[in-house]
Structure 1
Amino acid sequence: MERDEGTPPPSLAFDGVDLHQRLSDALPELAERVLERLVDHVPVYDTMPAEQLRGEIRRVVEQGIGSFAAMLRTGRLPTDNQLLALRQSAAKRAEEGVPVEAVVRAYHVGAQECLRQMLAQATADDLEHVQAVTVLVLQFLERMTVTVVAGFFAERQAVLGEEQSARQALLTALVEGADVTGTAARWGLDVPPCYLVLDLAVGAHPDEALAGVSPVIAGKRKLRRIRVELDRHVEGTVLTALSGDGGLALVPCRTAPGHVTDQEWARVTAALTHMRRVAGVDIMAGAAAAAPGDVPAAVALAQEVRRVAAASERPPGLYRLPDVLLEYQLMRPGPARDELARLMWPLTTRPELLDTVRAYLRCGLSRRAAAQELCMHPNTVDYRLRRAAEITGLDVTSGPDALRVRAAVSALDAAQGTIGTSPSAARRSRRAPADPPR
């Protein structure tokens, strides 16, 4: 325990030799043993240059042993100021990217060697002193660990802040079409030949609506899981601008935009699947590949693709332009789209018929699957489809008409302005007829 200034230091000795003297006398040999154990048992130290290991790291080991010997001599734990060198060394390890667990383990290795050195000469008559020195080792280790971890994370936080600033600066330059090369050079970042641009729409987690649960905390927890899974399953540094309901992610790719393979897209799709599973939410993503200078246009395209996929009631997942090509083209403003929308307009006053047509199309023209989705008898589905055909003059169950009905429904969605809204809001909009397309 810590002692007052006026308290005499303890007299801890084995075989008539003070323990602090045993440590001081054995300092060179003891420091060498600590280094050998670090190399053997903490792998990261085996990768350090020899001059660093035998120079800086050895000096830190000797300082730690010296501080403990001084504690044995004076009976007082070292102050933070006296442990400053150890704190600074931990900060350097953080800057070098050494894991914090390796740094902490190194100090435990040193404490174990010191204890072995002191107890080597102990006998059964020294039990009281053995207990006392063991407590002192634990107290010293506690003080040292707190100091080292504080130094490590203070530096790591500074490094992470700088890394985040660099990523944000590059992301801003890419999205705004600014000087990407100059920005990357200023921050020391690498710019790949291509980015896979993802526009994400993230659903709400059930916890965000639970009574007594902070929706802010639940939302941040969801977002953290999404970021972790994205970084874990994608190679390279992903640039993100995400909030609770979605945002943007730029995934680096070493392939030129026109040569991105299906396997590379499959990896991104797999990452999205992991994100959905771990975060426990639905995620829909529009995606496009682009060279760094073309990112602004790719962002706009990915956003539009995601909106089209949502408006056409696709399930959660990743979509590229080829996946929604027909709907995308049909939803472009123009006289052809308005003419198509007019074909379905009579059903806007009969939302139950329009919903049945949509379900039938979603279910691959299967009346039984549509009936199951709508929780009704297949005969009811047949009746509603017949009524829709009588009103519009187009029979969705007929091969020649099915494609035209699908196109007309997509055009109606676009004309009603449901692109980009949530599925529930889109359904409400569809149930509220406005003026027909002109």
Structure 2
Amino acid sequence: MLFDVGRLLHEEFLAVYRAAAADADGWEDAAVTVAHRVGSRLVAGKVPVAHVVVALRSTDRLLTETMLDDGGDARALAAAGTALATELMAAFCVGDDGLADALLAGNAPDDAAAFYTVVAVRGALTQRVVSAFRRRGPALLATSGHLLLPLAEAASLPLCREVCEEIGGEVWLCVAERPAARVALARKEVDEIDALVASLGRPPGVYRIDDMLFESAVLETPEVRDELAKVVAPLLANQVLVETVLALLEADGNRAVAVKKLFIHRSTIDYRLWQIEQLTGLSPVNPRDLAVLGTAIGMSRTNALG
């Protein structure tokens, strides 16, 4: 397969440079998508990395000069060039990603790391998250979309938090660690954590099973599930009160933060919390009761989807 690499890059990157020059919303995500697509195409075509690097420099110079002539912002254009180059070159660093699929299938090779942390990604483009991790060290991407870090969980957690902070916005990372031969179990665990986090409406961030032990135990016990369903039934009939519980959960129980999120007065939330306690017998100002209410709401949503 033959490529005019310079022409390909110019055609594919032009729209991104234009969007960046105009400071249009979403150009960063567009850069990730375009660069990943082009990089995958170049890798499949076995284009030498050296040719790609030369074409990248030439394309960046030509497009930047063109956009500057049209009044584009130099800093934004420089950021666009860096983002596109970083994401595109990441495609040439995925030669070992087949290892991720092998590990998830239970086939750990002799040269595998001792431990892997599996990361489930939600709320952001997976390739953008992968690139953020790869700038910090080795990371493997499975075809299922799961990310594998050849590190123990204790070392992976700080990296996950750094990535969340770098990407910003709404991104959820659920993590679990296992020895190389048991990576498939870590995948099952992160999927379960992610499902719980999503159903409970938890805020963006990094989650482990330790963060969800109470909720997991509750939802796995039929008797407790049935009792919770009875308790939460009156609450579910009032969407305003449900939203109040979820806002308080997202604010980690901080009423002042929840008030701002809901755009209501402090006295209004106090009245709503009193109503919730009257309906359910559980006080949302008590951390454990709030967790129970959140779990019950999440359970009702999961049942509705099921």
TM-score (structure 1 length as normaliser): 0.45
AA of the residue aligned to 1:175:
L
Instruction: Tell me, in whole angstroms, the C-alpha distance in 2 between the residues paired with 1:370 and 1:354.
Output: 13
Structure with higher RCO (Cα < 8 A, 6+ apart)? 2
2:184 is matched with 296
Q: Which amino acid aligns with 2:146?
A: L
1:249/1:361 CA distance change after superposition, 3 Å:
closer
The unaligned stretches of length 5 or more in structure 2 are: 1-47, 58-88
CA 334–354 in structure 1, closer or farther in 2 if over 3 Å, else same: same
Out of 337, 348, 355, the residue aligned to residue 225 of structure 2 is 337
Structure 1 position 224, deviation (Å): 4.7
Of structures 1 and 2, the larger Rg is shown by: 1
Cα distance in 1, alignment partners of residues 117 and 225 from structure 2: 30
Question: Could you tell me which of 269, 291, 294 is aligned with 1:409?
Answer: 294
Instruction: Name the counterpart of 1:317.
Output: 205
Asked if 1:271 is matched to 2:163, the reply is yes
Aligned-partner residue type, residue 174 of structure 1: L
Secondary structure of the residue aligned to 1:417 is helix
- Distance (Å, rounded) in 2 between the aligned partners of 1:169 and 1:360: 43
**Cα distance in 2 between the residues matched to 1:231 and 1:366:** 36
Does residue 393 (structure 1) correspond to residue 281 (structure 2)? The answer is yes
* 2:141 is the counterpart of 1:240: yes
SS at the partner of 1:384? helix
**Rounded Cα–Cα distance in structure 1 between residues aligned with 2:263 and 2:143:** 37
C-alpha displacement of 1:377: 1.5
Instruction: Decide whether the 8 Å contact of 1:330 with 1:411 is kept in 2.
Output: no
SS at match of 2:282: coil
Conserved 8 A contact 1:340-1:412 = no
- Unaligned 5+ residue runs, structure 1? 1-93, 105-156, 185-189, 204-221, 419-428
C-alpha distance in 1 between matches for 2:132 and 2:248? 36
Does 1:176 pair with 2:64? no
1: CA distance between counterparts of 2:284 and 2:127?
45
Q: Distance in 1 between matches of 2:292 and 2:225?
A: 9
CA separation of 1:342/1:193 partners in 2, compared to 1, >3 Å: closer, same or farther? same
- Between the aligned partners of 1:296 and 1:194, the Cα distance in structure 2 is 12
SS at match of 1:396: coil
Contact 2:199–2:301 (8 Å) recurs in 1: no
Aligned counterparts of 2:181 and 2:191: Cα–Cα separation in 1: 18
For 1:224 and 1:264, the matched residues in 2 are separated by 18
Change (3 A) 1:388 1:288: same
Matches of 2:254 and 2:183, distance apart in 1 = 41
Correspondence for 1:191? 112
Instruction: Give percent identity, aligned residues only.
Output: 24
- From 228, 248, 251, the equivalent of 1:360 is 248
Quick one: distance in 2 between partners of 1:406 and 1:224? Answer: 33
Q: Secondary structure at the match of 1:358?
A: helix
Question: What letter is aligned with 1:287?
Answer: V
Partner of 2:118: helix, strand, or coil? strand
- Partner Cα distance (1:406, 1:295) in 2: 30
What amino acid maps onto 1:319 in structure 2? Y
Query: Which one of 166, 171, 184 corresponds to residue 283 of structure 1?
Result: 171
Q: In the aligned structure 1, how far is the partner of 2:127 from the partner of 2:283?
A: 48
Q: Which amino acid aligns with 2:134?
A: D
Q: Does 1:167 align with 2:55?
A: no
Matched, 1:201 2:122: yes
